[in-house]
Each structure stands twice: as C-alpha cells, then as structure tokens.
Amino acid sequence: MADKYENPLCKRYSGKAMQFIFSDDNKFATWRKLWVALAESQQELGLDISDVQISEMKEHITNINYETAAQFEKKLRHDVMAHIKAYVEQCPQAAPIIHLGATSCYVGDNTDIVLQYDALLLVKKMLINVISMLHDFAERHKSLPCLAFTHFQAAQPTTLGKRATLWVQDLLFDLEYIDFASDRLKLLGCKGATGTAASFLALFEGDHEKVKHLEQKIAAKMGFDSVYPVSGQTYSRKIDYYTLSALSGIAQSAYKFSNDVRLMAHMKEIDEPFESGQVGSSAMAYKKNPMRSERIASLARYVMVDALNPALTASSQWLERTLDDSANRRISIPEAFLSTDAILSLMHNIVEGITVYPKIIEKRLTEELPFMATENILMHCVKKGGDRQELHERIRVHSMDAAKKIKLDGGDNDLLMRILSDTAFNLTSDELSQIMNPKQFTGRAEEQTDEFLAEVKNILDKNRDFLGVDVEISC
C-alpha cells in the first residue's frame, strides 16, 4: 500500500501518453531544451557562447538530477532557481550562460505552452477516433426505427443512427474549438521580468533587431511559428481559459452521450460493455450497472467546473505579474487534460463494445406507436369516405379507454384492435399493417443521417493521420 495520496486520475483513469506529457520528466526536460534553445540562439546572434558549453547542456537534457534539485528548492523556495543550480552542477562549463538574461517564466510559461499544445494534439487524436467510431455506429443503425423522446416522454419515432448523429455533431463542434485553441497557441518568447525584454536588449547592446530575432529563433527551435507580441512577465492567462474551455466543451458532449446511454440502458435497448467476470453490484448480483457512462458523467462534471479556474485566474492578474496563479495552474491545467483523456477513452470503449437490442427497441416502439399513428389512420379513413369529425371523436374515445387499460390494469395497448373492430373506420388488417410500418413515422431520419455522415466522412478524411488509437480501461 502507498503511504501517501496518489492522484486517481493517474492511478485509475488517464492513459499513459497523457500522463507522460504532464510528467516531471517531460516538464523538466522541456525546461532544459528551452535553456539550450536560448543559448544556441544567443550564440547565433553573436554572444560569446561556445559549442562546448552548448554540447554539455545537451548531454544532460533528460538525465535530470532530481535529488539535487529538491535539496536546492528546500533551501531556496524557488523551483526554477533550484533546477538551474542542479543543471549547473551537471554542466559546470556552461554555468556562466545557463538562463542568461531570462526570468523564471521563460522556462515555466514556454513549457506550459509546449505541454498544452502536445496535450491538445493527443485530445484531438482521441476525439477524432471517437467521432470515427460513432460515424460507423450511426451508419450501421441509420435504418433502425426507435422511439424518440422529448421531456423523456414518448414522441415521434427517429432512428438509432439519427440519434447517434446528435452525439457526433456535438463532438464536431468540440473539434473546431480544439483546433481553435491549439492554433492560437504561441510561445511567450523571452520577454524578461516585466515583458519589456530589457535584459536581452542590454545583452545585445541596444540592438532591437537582435532581440526580436532571438525570440523568433527560440520559437522555431521549439517548433512554433511565432510568439505573443506583448506580455507582462507571463503570457496572458486567458490562453489557459481558451484551452480549458475547449476541454469543457468535450466534457459537456460526453456527459450528454453518457446520459443517453444510461437512459437507453435503463430501457434495455442497449448495454455498454460488460466483461464476463465484471460485478455490477456488491449486493445485487444480477445487476449490470452502466459504470463507464456513470464515470464519464462524474469526470465531465469535474472538467466543466475546473474550467472556472483559468477564468478566475485570468481576471485576477495584477499589472505585469502576480504569483497567485501558480499553484492553481499546476493543478487545474494538467487535471483537466487527464480527465478529458479518461473521458474520451471511456467513450471509445463504450462505442466499440456497445450492444444494441433491436427486438426490445421494436417492442417499445410498437407499444407506443398506436397513439402516434392515429393521425395517419384518420387521414387514410377520411380518404376512403369516412367522416373526419366522427372518426376523430371515436379515436379520442378509443385512445382514452386504451390508455386507461394500460395505466390502471397494466394491460397491453389494444388501441389498434379497438379501431380495427370499429366498423366506422372501414379499415382492413392489411391497410392497418401498411399504415403501421415504423418507417412511415421516422420522417427524413435515415436521409438526414446519410447526408450528415457524408460531411463527417470528409472531416475524417482530412484528419486521417489522427486515426488509430489504443485504448485500455484499467478499472
């Protein structure tokens, strides 16, 4: 047993790839890559920095001396200075030039942007694959009529595939927002203590062009096209808000999906995956609780609430810098990504292994369809010469009696038999069977699904490089 708290997002829910992005190994290696990029760029622009110094720094990018850094931080109470000193111990020749002219946010903020960008790409990959699987699910079930609901009351039928397109459309909105959030990410650059780049201007003896080129070079070395044109000591915390808002959007869509799955599971129309040895309840052995969908809902609530953190942080920054953002961001940003990764993994798992029960779907539709079909029956019988007003009243009476039998006596819906037996309708069994074909009541559901899925296919084709992902639900 562990003798300290372990984050459930890492222990139980999130995948290894997302955990690595926000790991100490990746974070501090990125710090060191940024120090190397700074030194290389300064050398290229004429500062007295040797190849030996840069080579020494590169040798120790990944072999981070954590114990040394921890000892320094205990004394200094400053994580960046602690890691600078730990790096210097490994790179004595480079000691004079490591972090030259920079402030803490040079490594802290630039690393945060790098990690967010990588994490957004991973989220996009997961999202694209969930969309692809739901596309296939909708295609398979586009012709399967099912009872639709408004206010969770029986309403005009749709098809199961059409219902799935609603989930896909929400996720496509999220995909657009993910692209928006990742496309607007830029590095902070090297702007110094208050965003004026004064220290770098001094290093380059007042040469403004070299200072601008320094930022461009660092950005290119770190894989970015540009830096934010202005900042205080930090990049605007509104950027974090846009990022977590995109994740909140995914959480909202996933929550809706999970609720729909749980409702349909309650009606026995579908089941989420359930392994042969899985236990649904410690007390009620027969139960097959939809725990994956419930977990999605639980994690989604966390992400949606977590998106409030960057909003509050962005609004409360003082002038060029205050440190009351730091502790919050260390928690809120990684955990939003870890939770979203878990949510999308669960969605992938559910869609991949979902079981559909067409006979139950048909049975439920058949139970409710007679009431919905009365308008069609009325029109058919009027065309045959029936009196519209008389038939309307007879349908009203038969419907009330049938509903009473169902609700008070627990009987079957016998409305159709009542109408068929009523000579005023002059209706044959064959005519009634034709009228009662469920496909007569689903409108353009199948056609809408086909048309929509064609658009989805185009989006998936444009993102084909993101297709293919391994998902494992550990518990």
**What single-letter DSSP state applies at residue 227?**
B
Q: Which of 222, 2, 220 is nearest to 118 (CA)?
A: 222
For 296-332, the DSSP string reads: HHHHHHHHHHHTHHHHHHHHT--TT--STTHHHHHHH
**Catalytic residue from among 226, 281, 316, 326:** 281
Long-range CB contacts (< 8 A, 24+ apart) of 354-357?
354/137, 354/261, 354/270, 354/271, 354/272, 354/273, 355/270, 355/271, 355/273, 356/141, 356/144, 356/160, 356/269, 356/270, 357/268, 357/269, 357/270, 357/271
Based on the residue annotation, tell me whether 199 is a catalytic residue of this protein. Answer: no
Tokens matching residue 459: 């989006």
Say how far apart CA 15 and CA 126 lie, in whole Å.
11
**What is the Cα–Cα distance from 189 to 204, expressed in whole angstroms?**
16
DSSP per-residue letters across 243-290? HHHHHHHHHHHHHHHHHHHHHHHHTTSEE----TT--S-SS-TT----
Q: How many CA atoms lie within 13 A of 232 on its CB side?
A: 12
250 CB-near residues (< 8 Å, 6+ apart):
123, 127, 171, 174, 178, 303, 340, 343, 344
281 is catalytic: yes
For β-strands 153-159 and 270-271, DSSP reports them as unpaired
From 151, 276, 282, 429, the catalytic residue: 151
Q: Mapping DSSP to helix (H, G, I), strand (E, B) and coil, where does residue 457 land?
A: helix
Provide the annotated active-site residues. 151, 281
